[in-house]
Structure 1
């Protein structure tokens, strides 16, 4: 038997979530643009299908039963996911909306300023950004574009290089640190550790290894699991952090950060603008791609 056939009507589930969240049939009716009796009927339908009361009715409102609480914990995230999925499909096929997925750091520090500039030139096109550190080649196909880091070996994606990876130490201009003469000298400075075990990114141990320097992190160093957090810690003067050029170039230009030493790790990898080779680009996406590649 198809279990989907046993699901209650979606409008009954939506009415239940609204009443549970707002704590009132009247408020839910207003939110859903329905009559209160219609909302009550939807809840009754749901209670009949689940075989149990979902609310306790009081003079001042309603209260979830234990079964109602259990059901809310199930349907609320499901409704949010469904809504997001429908909106994503809608935007993907909207002629004047371009969707892009990228990591948090790339989306915030590199892509966002360029989208603002693009919008000044093309106010008729909306660029919708999705930031996700778990972005990979399979997820890109759900969007018009993705920005992926690597060596460009994605056979089912069309790709154009955006910027090469260059990583070097940075800190607040007023942080009192000795200028390192050799890469190994940096190990004596107050470093901000980056725990990148859960995603494709280097930490201080990788950085030192690229210069053939043995490194053992000191105890009690401030440690963050996101590049953006470590970067912000450096901006606040907490210590010396690894800075990716695409993130720090503007702060270096404005003297919000300074480089520590002249040593840079060049991995040979790049970030690419990619899209599926199996789907043609709509005119708005072509306009965005051409502008972005010219501006990069």
Structure 2
């Protein structure tokens, strides 16, 4: 039984080297010498009868067969790790550092943390907030939630949510397009889906009105709108708590399809076999899948 299964140490060296890109970084993670990792890779290649890496100067490139083999090996380690934790528990628990924009943190993530904690008491979530979804220094980050086109190159990019943007206002200010044309309008700086694009879509024959307020976060835009100071154009995922509580209403029934969305970014140097980050990723995808999208 399992006659074709190579030693797990060899597979671990293969997975770490493929993920990290060289023997040195893999050896640091595995607490081995680079020569020991290289020896285990050569032994695995000899056992399999096929090369796993093309050695090009200072870089290692996965062969086509290795590219097909790597997801299977990675998933096997993830399953073993999760099953071990499920049966025997985890000593000392595990900390996962998650970073996202302030608005998403406060309006979407924090209200769901208690449910995550009840399901996974062995994992401690460390939440960091960022003003904008930039790559920046991710040395201490396990998972980044960013807003944009999903074209970052500093890690694995996983789609999370894509929502339309919705005009909202305090009760009594709603009134369809005429109310929006009267304003006041609250604009989010730095976004691609603006009031100008909204009016171009629904009133192409008219010159778009200028915004009366320009702010840098959805939280501030929603707070201004709640105070009755105007109409805010924000992502539905942010507007929903305000709409459900009755603090805000829809200014009109029209929405603007968003060109950007929220993505998970797992830094390139991250160990995807760790139980904690993978569990958090699965949980985020689960709760995002339950969100109504347009």
> Is the structural similarity TM-score above 0.5?
yes
Structure 2 residue ranges without an equivalent (≥5): 1-91, 289-294
Distance 1:109 1:195 in 2: 16
Could you give the per-residue CA deviations for residues 84-140 of structure 1, whole angstroms, max 9, x where no partner exists?
xxxxxxxxxx96111111111111112222223211212221111111123423434
Instruction: From the superposition, tell whether residues 130 and 189 of structure 1 become closer, same or farther in structure 2 (CA, over 3 Å).
Output: same
The residue number in structure 2 matching 1:117 is 115
Distance 2:133 2:93 in 1: 24
Which structure has the bigger radius of gyration?
A: 1
Could you give the per-residue CA deviations for residues 160-191 of structure 1, whole angstroms, max 9, x where no partner exists?
22211311111122x244233xxxx3543332
- Any runs of at least 4 consecutive aligned residues in structure 1 with deviations exceeding 4 A, and if so which? none
Q: Give the structure-2-normalised TM-score.
A: 0.59
The residue number in structure 2 matching 1:169 is 167
Q: CA deviation at 1:153?
A: 1.6
The residue number in structure 1 matching 2:126 is 128
1:11-160 equivalences under 5 Å are: 96-160=94-158
Is the counterpart of residue 292 in structure 1 residue 287 in structure 2? no
Q: For 1:165, what is the secondary structure of its paired residue? A: coil
Q: For 2:207, what is the secondary structure of its paired residue? A: coil
Contact 1:189 1:240 in 2 (8 A): no
Among 241, 245, 256, the residue aligned to 1:250? 241
The residue number in structure 2 matching 1:191 is 184
Distance 2:165 2:145 in 1: 18
Contact 2:107 2:241 in 1 (8 A): no
Distance 2:104 2:169 in 1: 20
Contact 1:98 1:284 in 2 (8 A): yes
Contact 1:169 1:259 in 2 (8 A): yes
Distance 2:219 2:244 in 1: 19
Could you give the per-residue CA deviations for residues 191-225 of structure 1, whole angstroms, max 9, x where no partner exists?
232251xx34543224323443531327xx34434
Computed over aligned residues only, the root mean square deviation of the Cα atoms, in angstroms, reads 2.4
The residue number in structure 2 matching 1:85 is none
Among 269, 282, 290, the residue aligned to 1:278? 269
Distance 1:245 1:195 in 2: 14
Q: For 1:117, what is the secondary structure of its paired residue? A: helix
Among 197, 204, 217, the residue aligned to 2:210? 217
Is the counterpart of residue 179 in structure 1 residue 176 in structure 2? yes
